[in-house]
Amino acid sequence: MLKKDLHEANRLSWNAATRAHNSHKGDQARFLREGGSTLFPEELELLGELRGRSVLHLQCNSGQDTLSIAARGAQVTGVDISDEAIDFARALSAGSGLPGTFERSDVYDWLASAPPARFDLVFCSYGVIGWLSDLKPWAEGISRVLKPGGRFVLVEFHPVLWLFDDKLRLAYPYGGGHHVPEAVGVGDYVALSGEGLVPWGFEEGVRNFKNPNPCHSFQWGVGEVINSFLRSGLMLERLEEYCYANGCKMIEGMREAPGHRYLLPEGVPELPLMLGLSVRKAG
């Protein structure tokens, strides 16, 4: 069941956090104008050819990945619940010269009102599943807006990762849509990750950020995510698991590897830290 009151609390928390996140990223418009991209190889491989494709980027945050997709020749639409993120994305589109349409909305409301069979690709990435209070209407909405033969692509932190706190202590249940309230709100993971997320030059920006607004996340398992799409009539094409995390340093002592990837601390057995998923709508 949708928990719209908690979505609204998350909107406020993300508004505050987004300002802190972008304070570390310098002149992002210039980075994009000069041919820079925030996409990692994993999402590029799963997305495939983008030129001429219509792409919907759900929970797009401040639009950096959305516009990196636009730079490859796609027509992009980005949707996010955060006012701050969408305002920034629109300014980034204008400043970079990369065209994109950005709409502020709860993802559920947007999917319910959008015209059907409109997009070749729907895309989500990095820290999105945990903000969904109900998988069923999300997956059904994605299926509805995809054209026949269209695909949904997800590159996401693995649900196993969210069993642990930042000191790698087992702290949370697996799956079931369990509600996890966080009084501290969305944190400044950009400051913690440094150049992992800002390879063009991390800036100090906001220091010691403390979010005044709490947030609420939800625990979903891999099977629950996949089954939500199968029940919505989409077909599983590909499932990948990766024992590293792109860009984001979420566990104390994580080690940086080439390509701005992070590994678990020395001596800790490997665990899946990301997953990649592709599902297709019948043609």
Cβ atoms of 249 and 193 closer than 8 Å = yes
Q: What's the 3-state SS for the chain?
A: CCCHHHHHHHHHHHHHHHHHHHCCCCCHHHHHHCCCCCCCHHHHHHHCCCCCCEEEEECCCCCHHHHHHHCCCCEEEEEECCHHHHHHHHHHHHHHCCCCEEEECCHHHHHHHCCCCCEEEEEEECCCHHHCCCHHHHHHHHHHHEEEEEEEEEEEECHHHHHECCCCCECCCCCCCEEEEECCCCCCHHHHHHHHCCCCCCCCCCCCCCCCCCEEEEECCHHHHHHHHHCCCEEEEEEEEECCEECCCCCCCCEEECCCEEECCCCCCCCCCEEEEEEEECC
pLDDT at 196: 85
Average pLDDT over residues 99-105: 98
pLDDT confidence bin for 195, thresholds 50/70/90? confident
Q: Which domains does the chain have, with CATH numbers?
A: 4-281 (3.40.50.150)
Q: Of 109, 221, 125, 239, nearest to 174 (Cα)?
A: 221
Least reliable range by pLDDT among 35-49, 165-179, 188-202: 188-202
pLDDT confidence bin for 81, thresholds 50/70/90? very high
Measured from the Cβ of residue 175, the count of other Cβ atoms closer than 10 Å reads 16
Q: Of 46, 28, 45, nearest to 37 (Cα)?
A: 28
Q: Is the pLDDT of residue 37 over 90?
A: yes
pLDDT at 194: 85
pLDDT at 177: 98
Q: Is the pLDDT of residue 199 over 90?
A: no
pLDDT at 192: 85
Locus of tokens 């398992």: 221
Average pLDDT over residues 56-61: 98
Q: Of 205, 184, 202, nearest to 194 (Cα)?
A: 202
Q: Is the pLDDT of residue 1 over 90?
A: no
Average pLDDT over residues 201-218: 95
Pairing of strands 245-246, 101-104: unpaired
Vertex 153 angle, CA 89 and 147, to 5°: 90
CA dist 276 to 41, 240, 248, 271, Å?
Answer: 11, 5, 16, 15
Q: 248-273: per-residue pLDDT in tens?
A: 999 999 999 999 999 999 999 999 99
pLDDT at 24: 95
Locus of tokens 């908690």: 6
Q: 212-236: per-residue pLDDT in tens?
A: 999 999 999 999 999 999 999 999 9
The pair of three-digit structure tokens given for residue 179, joined into one six-digit string? 């509600």
